[in-house]
Amino acid sequence: MANLGKKAVLPPLVPFNSTEWPWKIDPKSGTGPKSFADLHASGPAEALMKTQTFFLAVALAMAGSTPATHAQTTFLPQSETDAIVLKFQATYADTFDRRDAKGMAALLTENATLQNEWGDVVQGRTNIEATLTRLMANLPAGAKLEDTPLVSHAVAADVIVSQGTSQRISPNTAPAQMFFTRVLVRQGGQWRLAATQIARPSAMPKPASQPK
């Protein structure tokens, strides 16, 4: 600073153990060293310990004064999230019930992915539409789709993850129950399906300790 012709403006000396920090203090107060020279004069081991203590105290103070915004962030009200999911699912099921593969594909993002109950993964709106066309052609007459969301959560302002149960209901046939996970993203003001996974119930008995 002196080389620039300016006077450095530094904070007042803050001795360790001063009871006046962070307000204006008397450099002679406190029981610890009031400068780095005093600190090093006390010996390397003690200097290191006190330096570490000082920076630890500063870190803890900063952590305690910083609000935990990440953990508390709510991107969308839960009621709004649930309403978005229910509206989307109603439209999605309607296209299934009408065997409208093109209409269902229009609800997807361009690079959407679909994993069916056999584990096959299909990527891209065009490819998924072709898969849906083949699937719908083999559905029994009158088959309908009934989805029930169990948990829906907005993980970002424009991203919702929804998980629940899905049933393909056909006349005179026991419903085929499955589970789904869907990722909805908002593009151009419209919610679209970016990824979906369908799974069948496990053949293994449910463990007694399984959380509800």
For residue 138, which phi and psi values (nearest 5 degrees)? -100, 5
179 lies in some domain: yes
- The verdict on 86 and 190 lying in the same domain is yes
Q: What is the pTM of this model?
A: 0.62
Q: What is the pLDDT of residues 22-59, one digit of tens each?
A: 545 555 555 555 555 665 565 555 555 555 555 555 45
106 lies in some domain: yes
149: part of which helix (H) or strand (E)? Answer: strand 144-156
- The verdict on 24 and 117 lying in the same domain is no
3 lies in some domain: no
Query: Last residue of some domain: 40, 64, 88?
Result: 64
Q: What is the pLDDT of residues 114-147, one digit of tens each?
A: 998 889 999 999 999 999 999 899 888 889 999 9
What one-letter code names the amino acid at 57?
A
Length of the chain: 212
> Token match 């029930």: residue?
148
